[in-house]
Amino acid sequence: MEEVVKTENHPNKKRKILGPIGRFVLKVVNWDIVGNLPDKKRIIIASAPHSSTFDAIYAYIVCLATDLKFYFLGSVSMFTRIVIPLPFKKNPDKLGIPHPFGKMQNKLLLEFGGIPVWRAKSTGVTQQVIDQLQSKDKFILYLTVEGEMKTNETIKTGFHYIGRALDATVVPTKIDYKNRRFELMDELVLTDSVDVDKNALMDRYHLVQGRNKIFYKPGEK
């Protein structure tokens, strides 16, 4: 496994036990990390394609292995409830079943870098993320830019608005199952146009093999 170069600008988190475990697991499953992060204080890792729950598992192992502190988004229900999609639950923030260890679950996920977002609130998810991160001097935010595990060849635009609002550097990242690696690519320089940035980012992911799908640019399949 290539060692990701870390600097004082990065939110380093030395893990005496979990760090070596993460590196060992990556070696066992034969996954690698390719590339480096820019020497910036605020970074958005914009990853794709997102086609399996294994993506999140591998991403967290990478977080442990690199000894970096990542932030990630999750529906508020996953922080205090056993998340079981129930067809009669119309409120996405109340999916699943409450349980007596919910407070402990919430504390652990927050410690691991989780950012709970309310999907049913009038305030959009993007603004909630901006509000929670704007006071932090340095951060690495991990985003799956497609948002959900769908087969449509498009991405969400939160990376653009969060990046612009927080003056964060966007690092396109391939979740490449064919070559079994996370590839940190050169930063995407944001413009004033969300459409320009969205198309430029999709160009980076074109033909990347995810676990259950290949990412295609719109009209290129």
Position 210 in a domain: no
Among 51-55, 80-84, 155-159, 192-196, where is mean pLDDT lowest?
A: 80-84
Position 166 in a domain: yes
| pLDDT bucket at 106, cuts 50 / 70 / 90 | confident
For the four alpha carbons of 214, 215, 217 and 218, in that order, the dihedral sign comes to positive
Rounded distance, CA 28 to CA 103, Å? Answer: 33
Please count the structural domains in the chain: 1
Position 189 in a domain: yes
pTM above 0.85, yes or no: yes
Higher pLDDT, 147 or 28: 28
Which range of 91-95, 106-110, 148-152, 184-188 scores highest in mean pLDDT? It is 184-188
User: Which residue range(s) make up the domain with 136?
Assistant: 18-205
E strands, 15-164, in order: 32-34, 42-48, 71-75, 81-82, 97-98, 114-117, 139-144
